[in-house]
Structure 1
């Protein structure tokens, strides 16, 4: 029927065949290292086998002109928009699909009906209201849909999607202009949930409005699936079209507005002091407060009844979002990427001032520099971080958390959590705002790639940064879970159980392992950068990423994609046995010493020892006639002809054999087993008798002829006393107890404590900054 049905059916079939090892059923090889084949879609004129856009690649475009009015008193937003839609596809279109994401908040929306629920001893408002399903007056109310001349157009709303039927078929290379007028009640995102809405501050009777997914937006029509009109259930995020925007936002006159793009009328909406500071920020190397804390506190008590209209424009973006409130400090500074000036800016309330004033804008600048180094230079003129007690991303603007205590102190966890979320959400400008993957289908292409880049930016911020996603050992607890609680990374967004681990942490970890362990930084960085360059401002699929990484590096990674992205097997490589060999020196004196130790060890036992210590009178000692030649025979005595025998042996060796003999290598034969199922490189750390160490790295291809067990011999100059697998914990091995020889006891600690009862609901965790002020 549709191309997407064929693709998804192929993926579903392939995942199942992979799980059953149908490439070579019942065998110990020929499965994990086979090429992906039909697991990914075939290349074509739109998407090449190299992973690059094909010669016939196309994508749609939608330009918007929007007028919006924020009614703070009644908590409503009204808007009207003109959309110019460009059909760059080879297909004639008889209708258009438009997204109405605010409908997710309606009590009757599909995501409410299909969400499971349970009762507990304590129930909050959000849980109970969801169970009751009371009418909430939320969701988009479409007032009218017309063509550019004002003629009504027929439309049908199906939950979060609206189909607009065209009066005539929109032909390839044609464009169509339509108008939509709508309004909706703004939801309390702190109780209803969701990404946009308002937060109410009772202590000063003010609101913070984060206006997101707020206007009817064009759905994507692509070569991969036709219309991406899968319903918005709340988790699987967005598939969106690039275009140009002009947006007029009318708000209370004392509000500060930050938005996607650049403001066109600061001279009209800012007072003289703020405008002067804005101009100073253009060349500042540290943040300048355009609106300062004292001005904010004053505005919070003097609420204006007048209105102002802020006008923003943005080019080649896939979405538009904004923030509006009178309780926002606003700071800004210029940063430069490849010689281009970008304004890094932050908006935050008084409760976030101790953290955001110190860190936010500088973290933005750091993020842009690190991401630009690993992908493409940041192309937009602005990057904004807004403190809004949550985390969500849009082009050039994102919403984050990070509030201090009343006394201005904060915990280390809040500090690093805030820095991490700012890096993450600002980083989303690259994935998926520029490299525009389909989040509705593949969350990991957005969240996973971005979390990987976030990890690199965190580590370049502070060498001691406590990153929670990225290091291989951090994903172990997830990968060792029962299989019925896991699903492959290549799973639709709405079908994932442990979303954070599956869509964020596991793909980020996989990419970090690719970079540090499988490919190496040089090959990985080049290929990853190539992917970003190829698909900037385009719509990539997983196959495009997989193919590009291989195409640009000459590293066959199909085994890696199979295991990490299409499977749920964990890594567990066991070191089962170590056998030591050395070359016979053929020198009788040397060999007899070794043989004597071995003979005595093998022939001694506890009974013999105790008999000797107890002074047992042995029969052959009491009656010497029982003794013969062998009682006095010294089997380890060096013969008189030993030197002659050695010289005869040595002179018989060829020059190459003599050279090998003189090296006196120690040989160690190691047995490994793949207990987890996920093939990976084998990393071995050797510890020698002199205390020195050495690491060998064996590529994963050692498993290609036997995916379950392998044996390999290693030649070492020095004698080995210990062997350790994965010494730097870089493969996500779920069981480190079978990684060493000799086996090591894993140390743990326990504490003797006096049991005591804590008040119910008491919070845990120290605030050393606060405690230091009390001392």
Structure 2
């Protein structure tokens, strides 16, 4: 309601006094929140500059690999030998080098298994569940099989054995001579290991119906650990959650498999002429110019291979070459269907092979969507980063859910029902995971961040780009992460289960919302609300371009985003990345002020309405039924001047007095009076802690509305509670904070004034147990399922 009426000059003095008031809140922390990150970030140097760009002396190591490996399908084993050329491009002398032995994650006496926690369910547990309590990352492991690497030889170029020490998932090799800067060291490692069942990143999936397995082989060979200017040797143990820190190099890989297998891998195959049939080679040639995917290996051919009519199919070796990649992975199976097309998604016209391999269990979804989703991802990500530099991108169908990424190849879930039908969630989940995993080619396969330390630098940035790519695929795409209102449940969780985004990947509780959802949401808020699309897109592209084929740290990202946009974001990084506080703004009160115009036409009309409001009581409403029975109503002689007098009528004397008043005012003062401006003082609390822009929607008396946006710096003098004066020509009847869910406010019920009650919905359950519902495709009789039309069923 209107609090008071003020003369014009008194109002101007009052507003001027309010503007000069200093904060007095005992919870005042604004200086800390809006000061620069300063020493929180590492000191800039000649390797990494204060602008966020690589310095003039930036360096990184490199390792080239020549690998020969065989997949033993009968025994589920990999046997391999590799020759590594390691280049010391650092300014330091090295006495030893470190390699990563990621398969040692699955050793039952390893740190991953011994540090895993859990409890026994007193109501009962299966043998497998009990075994899993002490196994690595919950992988289902056969207790009779020894997992982890068997290192059979480590030799120098001349064949002389090199001393080595294995520490969990790391191996140190002591060098015969100190390795000087600018030199290279060539050595070899022979190894083998037993393949685990697929655990989310690699392994095999067995199909009991046809007795075959699909293999998804990753972090499968001993790999060089990075040595960099930030950490020296990056040899954090692999505990299963934090992913990988790697360096670039060139790969030549020869993969020997049963001759009826189809192989897909990082890089370009060098010997299709030897491993494909004449028909398959002809189809591959056709795919070079096709605008839609062409079947290279058909479903009929894959189903024939599944039957294994030839019990001794022999072996084939597929040879791949991959340049300037940080890793290498492959998939192999006799069950694989294979489709492909060359896509020219960029203005340069350069063509890129987009491919998919999948078993029949993935159809019809995979043949319809997978390869097209690959091409779309390259186009969408390329538009906001850089042109995809590699010659091929492959999507490989693994088990039902989730996915995992490697250079030029990814393992993706999403499987329909056996009858070929699927839910909407399965369809969009599959497309989403393909976009996400193929998108990882940009982050971290090319913008090469340290995943084991900073999970958000690849997962968060990639999830943000996935969110944009999904919307570009389908306007109504049911995106899971990116919209501010999708992270509020996590941000309002108990603080005991919250970690800062800047926590190490292995130590995060709730990796999904923390490393994927929250940073993706933060970037969306920066783009839509804090910076605007134009400034954000330019800065984000600058970051990706600067650190293409290099290894950035969080400071490089933070500094580049500010450097390229000219927007101070330190307050934002503090709140969203270094803290766990939520966003919760409360609109406490709204005080309404208007100028006493002294215009009788206006002021007397206002007084008339106020008088009428005060007289509209329940008694008056009831008395109106008998107002014709009063003495004055029945006897007109009882009425005099005052029964006919209108105190709110504008008289000539009123008009003359008003004209005299106007003559004393300046032109600006007269204009302000004539506009009859309303002034509203909004009292807003920052209950959550994170300062964010204040977005206010005003619903006017005439049914229209308007939105005002105030920057986060509005909190810089008091981060607990502020007053903001808003001037409008029209009267506001409803105020709403964050009307379009832009800032991830965890409690929207305190965002309105006057308050708008929100109902809590509940459901009345039927007494009888309900049967599992068919998915919509099955209900419509799609996919071969017969649906009864009998109303009794």
Shared fold by TM > 0.5? Answer: yes
| Number of the residue aligned with 2:508 | 496
Shift, 1:481, TM fit: 0.8
Shift, 1:42, TM fit: 1.3
- Contact residue 200 and residue 404 of structure 2 kept, 8 A: no
SS at match of 2:745: coil
SS at match of 2:419: coil
SS at match of 1:340: coil
| Number of the residue aligned with 2:145 | 136
Return the alpha-carbon distance in structure 1 between the equivalents of residues 733 and 33 of structure 2.
Answer: 34
| Number of the residue aligned with 2:428 | 416
> Which residue of 348, 355, 361 corresponds with 2:358?
348
Where do 1:278-289 residues align within 5 Å?
A: 278-289=284-295
| Number of the residue aligned with 2:791 | none
1:506 partnered with 2:524: no
Shift, 1:529, TM fit: 0.3
SS at match of 1:744: coil
| Number of the residue aligned with 1:127 | 129
Instruction: Please identify, of 629-638 and 149-158, the stretch whose mean Cα deviation from structure 2 is larger.
Output: 629-638
Give the 3 Å change call, closer, same or farther, for CA 170–126 of structure 1 in structure 2.
farther
- Bigger relative CO (Cα 8 Å, ≥ 6 apart): 2
- Contact residue 117 and residue 133 of structure 2 kept, 8 A: no
Return the alpha-carbon distance in structure 1 between the equivalents of residues 361 and 91 of structure 2.
Answer: 53
Shift, 1:265, TM fit: 0.2
Return the alpha-carbon distance in structure 1 between the equivalents of residues 778 and 117 of structure 2.
Answer: 42
Return the alpha-carbon distance in structure 1 between the equivalents of residues 607 and 47 of structure 2.
Answer: 71
SS at match of 1:645: helix
Where do 1:340-379 residues align within 5 Å?
A: 340-379=350-389
> Which residue of 315, 331, 343 corresponds with 1:323?
331
> Which residue of 551, 559, 572 corresponds with 2:571?
559
Shift, 1:487, TM fit: 1.1
Where do 1:534-613 residues align within 5 Å?
A: 534-598=546-610, 601=613
Give the 3 Å change call, closer, same or farther, for CA 340–221 of structure 1 in structure 2.
same
> Which residue of 728, 739, 755 corresponds with 1:743?
755
TM-score using structure 1 length: 0.91
| Number of the residue aligned with 1:427 | 439
Where do 1:186-225 residues align within 5 Å?
A: 186-189=195-198, 193-225=199-231
Where do 1:230-249 residues align within 5 Å?
A: 230-249=236-255
Return the alpha-carbon distance in structure 2 between the equivalents of residues 630 and 112 of structure 1.
Answer: 95
1:382-430 residue CA offsets vs partner (Å, 9 max, x unmatched) = 0000001141000000000121212111111100000000000000000
SS at match of 1:730: coil
1:711-741 residue CA offsets vs partner (Å, 9 max, x unmatched) = 1112222222212111111111111111112
Q: Which runs of 4+ in 1 moved over 6 A?
A: 603-615, 629-635
Shift, 1:753, TM fit: 3.4
Give the 3 Å change call, closer, same or farther, for CA 465–122 of structure 1 in structure 2.
farther
Runs (5+) with no aligned partner, structure 2: 1-24, 136-142, 631-640, 788-793
- Contact residue 83 and residue 186 of structure 2 kept, 8 A: yes
> Which residue of 403, 414, 436 corresponds with 1:402?
414
1:474-501 residue CA offsets vs partner (Å, 9 max, x unmatched) = 1011111111111110101111111110
1:200-232 residue CA offsets vs partner (Å, 9 max, x unmatched) = 111001111111000000001000000110000
Return the alpha-carbon distance in structure 2 between the equivalents of residues 739 and 606 of structure 1.
Answer: 32
SS at match of 2:559: helix
Return the alpha-carbon distance in structure 2 between the equivalents of residues 511 and 420 of structure 1.
Answer: 19
Return the alpha-carbon distance in structure 2 between the equivalents of residues 207 and 409 of structure 1.
Answer: 23
- Contact residue 342 and residue 381 of structure 1 kept, 8 A: yes
Runs (5+) with no aligned partner, structure 1: 1-23, 619-628
Return the alpha-carbon distance in structure 2 between the equivalents of residues 332 and 551 of structure 1.
Answer: 41
> Which residue of 306, 321, 326 corresponds with 2:314?
306
| Number of the residue aligned with 2:721 | 709
Instruction: Please identify, of 117-126 and 361-370, the stretch whose mean Cα deviation from structure 2 is larger.
Output: 117-126
1:632-691 residue CA offsets vs partner (Å, 9 max, x unmatched) = 998656565211111111122222222333323222221111111111111111122221
- Contact residue 194 and residue 234 of structure 1 kept, 8 A: no
1:126-149 residue CA offsets vs partner (Å, 9 max, x unmatched) = 532133665630000000000010
SS at match of 1:701: helix
| Number of the residue aligned with 2:694 | 682
SS at match of 1:30: helix
Return the alpha-carbon distance in structure 2 between the equivalents of residues 578 and 765 of structure 1.
Answer: 51
Return the alpha-carbon distance in structure 1 between the equivalents of residues 285 and 261 of structure 2.
Answer: 20
Instruction: Please identify, of 405-414 and 24-33, the stretch whose mean Cα deviation from structure 2 is larger.
Output: 24-33
> Which residue of 171, 180, 188 corresponds with 2:180?
171
Return the alpha-carbon distance in structure 2 between the equivalents of residues 86 and 688 of structure 1.
Answer: 69
- Contact residue 114 and residue 134 of structure 2 kept, 8 A: no
1:103-137 residue CA offsets vs partner (Å, 9 max, x unmatched) = 11111111111111122235355532133665630
1:312-371 residue CA offsets vs partner (Å, 9 max, x unmatched) = 000000000000110000000011123211000000000102000000000000000000
- Contact residue 65 and residue 82 of structure 2 kept, 8 A: yes
1:47 partnered with 2:48: yes
> Which residue of 282, 297, 301 corresponds with 2:303?
297
Return the alpha-carbon distance in structure 2 between the equivalents of residues 659 and 148 of structure 1.
Answer: 90
Computed over aligned residues only, the root mean square deviation of the Cα atoms, in angstroms, reads: 2.5
- Contact residue 195 and residue 204 of structure 2 kept, 8 A: yes
Give the 3 Å change call, closer, same or farther, for CA 126–244 of structure 1 in structure 2.
farther
Shift, 1:590, TM fit: 2.7
1:515 partnered with 2:517: no
- Contact residue 219 and residue 240 of structure 1 kept, 8 A: yes
- Contact residue 409 and residue 770 of structure 1 kept, 8 A: no
SS at match of 1:112: helix
Give the 3 Å change call, closer, same or farther, for CA 523–56 of structure 1 in structure 2.
same
Give the 3 Å change call, closer, same or farther, for CA 498–492 of structure 1 in structure 2.
same
Return the alpha-carbon distance in structure 2 between the equivalents of residues 210 and 725 of structure 1.
Answer: 49
TM-score using structure 2 length: 0.89
